[in-house]
Homo-oligomer: A and B are copies of this chain.
Amino acid sequence: MKNFFLPLCLALTGILHAQLHPSLMLTTATMGAVRKGITEYPLLKSSFTEIKRNADNAIKAGINVPLPNDGGGGVTHEQHKKNYQNILACGISYQVTKDERYAHYVKDILLQYAAVYKTWPRHPKRKQVPGGKIFWQNLNDCVWQVYVIQGYDCVYDYLSVADRKKIEADLFEPIVKELSEVNEETFDKIHNHGTWSVAAVGMTGYVCQRKEWIEKALHGTNKDDKSGFMAQLNELFSPDGYYTEGPYYQRYAILPFLLFAKAINQYQPELHIYNFRDGVLKKAVDASLQTTYTNGAFFPVNDAMKDKTFESEELVYGVDIAYSDMKAGADLLDVARKQNKVIVSDAGLKVAKDLSAGKIKPFEYKPTWLSDGADGKQGGLGILRSGPNDDQTCVVLKAAAQGMGHGHFDRLNMLLYDNNTEVFSDYGAVRFLNIETKNGGNYTKTNDSWGKQTIAHNTVVADKISHYRGEEKAASQNAPVLIYFDAEKNFQVVGAKEDHAYNGISLLRTLILFTPSGTGFLLLIDIYKANSKESHQYDLPFWYQGHITDKSFPASINTTSLRQLGDKYGYQHIWLNGEGRPGTANGAITFLNNKRFYTTTFLADTSMHIQFVTSGAGDSEMDLRNEKAFILSEPSKSNQTFLSITEPHGNTDTIAETTSASLSKVKDLKLLEDKTARTVFEFVYGSKTYRIELNYNDHDKFIQIK
């Protein structure tokens, strides 16, 4: 693994630059243009109007600095969160309007914090040791400081020297100590919590001119680049800009990276931080956007809140800074338009101005392989896409590394999106964010027992045991291996294997997005091989959205009582609604979702049975949603190839009361040859027979479709 280093001496001398205030997102040099832009460009104007409204509301409401007491979503938690937002809103409003009431608010509230901060004990509801002070998590304290230091920078020139001294000595110094010493372990973590921590300390260092803080932030407490910002930049992103925890946390993690990088760029432009590691920060913004579907929602792999979209504040920063500072394309303006917000800064000015000038292009979603791991060799995310942004088919193969503590045990998981919605979905995290009555707003226990387990995902489970037995440490030792990716032909294909999820079982999945000639819709062809010398039970669930409207085989449905499907590894959270056996060579299940039909036609045999299931068992706290799946299950096989084709077709118009193409055109799916290194199969679509060959070990002839 190749690491990139910044010369330490350069970092130390560079601080002599730019001692004007503000010099973070807003700068004295560009304030005039930003002020003017607010009057000229609608999006900058509305963005500032919102900030000013928040600032006005803050002044109106008065200052409230309560003794910290509550967990996430609780009263004091939300108040301190509001306070840092208010401090920044008033700081920006002061810089734009020069109305001293805003600066006065920031001064007063910071002096109030300075008066009490050192008297506060550890947070009574602290989540970890030593934990936070203002909030239950040290993480939230770091975020607080990242916002507050920007607000402080905005009013710096307004403050008297004595006030500055008091705020720095009684608030920022102890906070920096709290972050970098008391919580040194977090500060030195190669993890998004670490990034928030170093960004808080580093940005505070720049604004308060403390070289020691900057050095620590950039190079770790030991200044050896084994921790700190540079180490994080080297290790947390892959060469493609993918962040190992997955899209939901990539979004979250990216903000302190961008804010701190912007500060570094202002104070030490000679470090060329945006070019560091071949421009990894820009790649990170790109990767973040490419891991959304067209509805803006991030692929909810690993722990993820499913309603999070690229409209979130972090990506507003990402899009604006990438566009203004990193030469990103005009298609980012499409995202900015959907965000309907820009940063009030020179970056936001540029975006708002170019949007006004009509430079917008549709956002370019691209089929892509995003490698994972600092070396790019820890698997990755395969993304196949086809169709316009208003009706795109998108397939995701999750072949990434474990992704640390928020990772799910879902090697070779598959997601399907179509027609602006989820089709085969991931449950995401089990969490009620900021809902204090639900485990304090934190992940629920069922997140571990259900959300993370393999059976909650669209991938093979052997012997009803999760991948790596659900053990993070074991799972972190190995990543899946990409075997093939190609999106250049008239079809798209991604294949990856995972040999370590189970002892003695090799998993190999190939996904193909294929348009039969002369049709408007695509087929998702899924070839999932599980090979072993021993016999195993293999289960492959398809967690679908919508309602089943047809199936090709009878099923026995449990009408009077339901039982759990198992007692551990997530099976205890599944109700078994019924079972059926296709018996013959093919089975087919049709479901209706968002007014479009989907038929999954799959290879079957006499031993395969299909389980219809619903999540929600074993749920004493009533945390779970009722999601539905059909599970293709083989009770005892050594080698098993799950071969299926999912076809979107037809539609039903509930207003006009018409239905079209309610029948699938896929039939006669046949496996012609199936070896370790080679699979050949055919199927009929309409009246045409297609034959597909896969040669897993021959990269040049990996796939042939006839």
* Chain A contacts to B: CB under 8 angstroms: 73, 78, 81-82, 305, 307-309, 311-313, 432-438, 441, 547-550, 557, 559-564, 572, 575, 577-578, 590, 592, 612, 614, 616-622, 625-626, 652, 654-660, 662
> Out of B313, B560, B654, which one reaches A563, CB within 8 Å?
B560
Q: Are A659 and B559 in touch, CB under 8 angstroms?
A: no
Q: Are B559 and A78 in touch, CB under 8 angstroms?
A: no
A621 CB contacts on chain B under 8 angstroms: 557
Q: Are B307 and A622 in touch, CB under 8 angstroms?
A: no
A660 CB contacts on chain B under 8 angstroms: 78
> With A563-B560, A655-B309 in contact, do A437 and B625 touch (Cβ < 8 Å)?
no
Q: Are A659 and B78 in touch, CB under 8 angstroms?
A: yes
> With A561-B561, A562-B561, A662-B73 in contact, do A657 and B433 touch (Cβ < 8 Å)?
yes
A662 CB contacts on chain B under 8 angstroms: 73, 435-437
> With A435-B662, A622-B577, A662-B437 in contact, do A617 and B560 touch (Cβ < 8 Å)?
yes
Q: Chain B residue with minimal CB distance to A623?
A: B547
How far in angstroms is the closest Cβ of chain B from A241? 23
Q: Chain B residue with minimal CB distance to A597?
A: B435
Q: Are A652 and B434 in touch, CB under 8 angstroms?
A: yes
Q: Are A557 and B659 in touch, CB under 8 angstroms?
A: no
**Which 10 A-B residue pairings sit nearest by Cβ, starting from the closest?**
A437-B550, A434-B659, A562-B562, A307-B654, A626-B626, A557-B620, A73-B659, A559-B618, A561-B563, A312-B655
A572 CB contacts on chain B under 8 angstroms: 559-560
A625 CB contacts on chain B under 8 angstroms: 547
How far in angstroms is the closest Cβ of chain B from A535? 29
Complex Cα distance, B659 from A438, in Å, reads 13
How far in angstroms is the closest Cβ of chain B from A78? 6
28 A-B pairs whose Cβ atoms sit less than 8 Å apart in the complex? A78-B658, A78-B659, A78-B660, A305-B654, A307-B654, A308-B655, A311-B655, A312-B656, A313-B655, A313-B656, A432-B592, A433-B652, A435-B652, A436-B662, A438-B549, A441-B659, A547-B625, A559-B572, A559-B619, A559-B620, A560-B563, A561-B561, A561-B564, A562-B562, A562-B575, A577-B622, A612-B622, A626-B626
Complex Cα distance, B399 from A675, in Å, reads 68
Q: Chain B residue with minimal CB distance to A625?
A: B547
> With A549-B438, A559-B617, A618-B560 in contact, do A433 and B73 touch (Cβ < 8 Å)?
no
A438 CB contacts on chain B under 8 angstroms: 549-550
A656 CB contacts on chain B under 8 angstroms: 312-313
> Out of B549, B561, B626, which one reaches A432, CB within 8 Å?
B549
A73 CB contacts on chain B under 8 angstroms: 659, 662
How far in angstroms is the closest Cβ of chain B from A86? 13
A577 CB contacts on chain B under 8 angstroms: 622
A619 CB contacts on chain B under 8 angstroms: 557, 559
A436 CB contacts on chain B under 8 angstroms: 659, 662
Residue of A432, A436, A549 with most partner-chain B CB within 10 A? A549
A435 CB contacts on chain B under 8 angstroms: 549, 592, 652, 659, 662
Complex Cα distance, B659 from A618, in Å, reads 28
Known: A73-B662, A82-B658, A547-B625. 6 other contacts (CB 8 A): A313-B655, A433-B652, A435-B592, A441-B659, A562-B562, A614-B626
Q: Are B614 and A548 in touch, CB under 8 angstroms?
A: no
Q: Chain B residue with minimal CB distance to A434?
A: B659
How far in angstroms is the closest Cβ of chain B from A568? 13
How far in angstroms is the closest Cβ of chain B from A247? 15
How far in angstroms is the closest Cβ of chain B from A35? 26
> Out of B312, B437, B626, B659, which one reaches A549, CB within 8 Å?
B437
Complex Cα distance, B434 from A550, in Å, reads 13
Complex Cα distance, B620 from A612, in Å, reads 12
Complex Cα distance, B618 from A559, in Å, reads 4
Complex Cα distance, B654 from A309, in Å, reads 9
Residue of A575, A592, A659 with most partner-chain B CB within 10 A? A659
> With A559-B619, A626-B614 in contact, do A657 and B437 touch (Cβ < 8 Å)?
no
Complex Cα distance, B134 from A549, in Å, reads 25
Q: Chain B residue with minimal CB distance to A252?
A: B657
A617 CB contacts on chain B under 8 angstroms: 559-560
Q: Chain B residue with minimal CB distance to A622?
A: B548
Q: Are B561 and A657 in touch, CB under 8 angstroms?
A: no
Complex Cα distance, B307 from A592, in Å, reads 14
Complex Cα distance, B385 from A540, in Å, reads 49
A618 CB contacts on chain B under 8 angstroms: 559-560
A562 CB contacts on chain B under 8 angstroms: 561-562, 575
How far in angstroms is the closest Cβ of chain B from A562? 4
Complex Cα distance, B435 from A660, in Å, reads 9
A614 CB contacts on chain B under 8 angstroms: 616, 626
Q: Chain B residue with minimal CB distance to A315?
A: B655
Complex Cα distance, B564 from A311, in Å, reads 44
